[in-house]
Structure 1
Amino acid sequence: MGSVTLAGAGLFAALTGAPAGPGETSIDLGSLAGLPCELAISAISQALTTEDGDSEKIRAAMNHALVEALDGVEVFDPQCITDDVIVDTMIGYLAESIFLQMVMDSDKAWNKADTPAKAMRAETELRELVKVVVDKHMAPKLSKNVRAFNRQQMVQIERQAIIDSWKEWEAYQ
């Protein structure tokens, strides 16, 4: 999930206003001020998603996380990107990325449910479980001064949360 963590670090940098280094993707959130929030979210995820095998998963996870973190915001304002929004976005992004990877890895397992309703319930429960696990492993690391981290530190935090989440998922099965 290397491209997931790199894209996550780019999302983190954009949200914290960190400057992009050579070869790093970035977006100026100030340029999105005044746009309807859903258009700003789309612009952010489009700008930060590279075109590779994980691009759809990354874009979907970014959109999902930003929609949840900015719930209730109608018009985008960079000032609404508080530390709490950053933490919520990063946890939501990584949780959704892991969830989507698990669904992809499970292949046809979802087809074994007796009914579509049972499959949807199982999917919802898995999504919630993954978010709780990611939150448990990431939130304590991000709870202090979230803006003090750099991209590489965020990549390391994400990677460790992925490892911890997969270990917990394997123990849960």
Structure 2
Amino acid sequence: MSNGYRNDFRKAIGHYARTASGGSTSASRRMGSVAQAGAGLFGALTGIPAGPSEASVDLKSLAGLPCELAISAISQALITEDGDSEKIRAAMNYALVEALDGVETFDPQCITDDVIADTMISYLAESIFLQMVMDSGKAWNKADTPNQAMHAETELRELIKVVVDKHMAPRLTGNVRSLSRQQMTQIERQSIIDAWKEWEAYL
């Protein structure tokens, strides 16, 4: 944060992944609620019937709404009230806005397999980004200017997205809708572990 050098930034992420976050297994466990909520988002987008204790939302009921209102309704319906609820809501909103960019009026037919895959990758990447920012705390105050802080946030978000996409996208090829909620939870958890292992190698 203090000098903006990319190599130092990578070293800091490596230290975070190896030490501050407790490693890949610990990270996957800590982000368990993120993965569970992600499975709920996947279920809603694919139309998988929710179980008795699972949150759900009927996309057909949102047809015709302004897209931003539909996105807000989806994330509101799917979050659980726990310590991660705000992070999960923000990540869902961010991912859906990214995936549905350019859509003004919500139509369930616009939820294609590509949109589903893009949403899930963006959701997990943004969740990890928000977790890292929360965990790094006062480190963000070391930027000399607000612009420097914004640049660092952009760099971190992009780095996370690239790595998550690298490990998650190959698992979301073919008929994405054939996956179950449980399989999506496992894909998210394994993608977290794989991303962390890559970051742990940053020296």
Aligned equivalent of 1:63, options 78, 87, 93: 93
Is 1:47 the equivalent of 2:74? Answer: no
Query: Which amino acid counterpart does residue 54 of structure 2 have in structure 1?
Result: E
Aligned equivalent of 2:130, options 71, 93, 100: 100
Matches within 5 A, 1:8-157: 8-157=38-187
What runs of 5+ residues in structure 1 fail to find an aligned partner?
A: none
Aligned pairs, number = 173
Aligned to 1:4: 34
Aligned to 2:191: 161
Query: Which amino acid counterpart does residue 42 of structure 1 have in structure 2?
Result: S
What runs of 5+ residues in structure 2 fail to find an aligned partner?
A: 1-30
Paired residue secondary structure (2:92): helix
Runs of 4+, deviation exceeding 4 Å: none
Q: Which structure is higher in RCO with an 8 Å CA cutoff and minimum separation 6?
A: 2
Query: Which amino acid counterpart does residue 163 of structure 1 have in structure 2?
Result: I
TM norm structure 2: 0.83
Q: Distance in 1 between matches of 2:173 and 2:162?
A: 15
Q: Distance in 1 between matches of 2:64 and 2:114?
A: 21
TM norm structure 1: 0.98
CA apart distance, 1:167: 2.0
* Percent identity between the two aligned chains: 84
Q: Distance in 2 between matches of 1:171 and 1:45?
A: 34
Larger Rg over CA atoms: 2
Q: Distance in 2 between matches of 1:64 and 1:128?
A: 14
Aligned-CA RMSD value? 0.8
CA apart distance, 1:22: 1.8
Query: Which amino acid counterpart does residue 12 of structure 1 have in structure 2?
Result: F
Paired residue secondary structure (1:166): helix
Paired residue secondary structure (1:108): helix
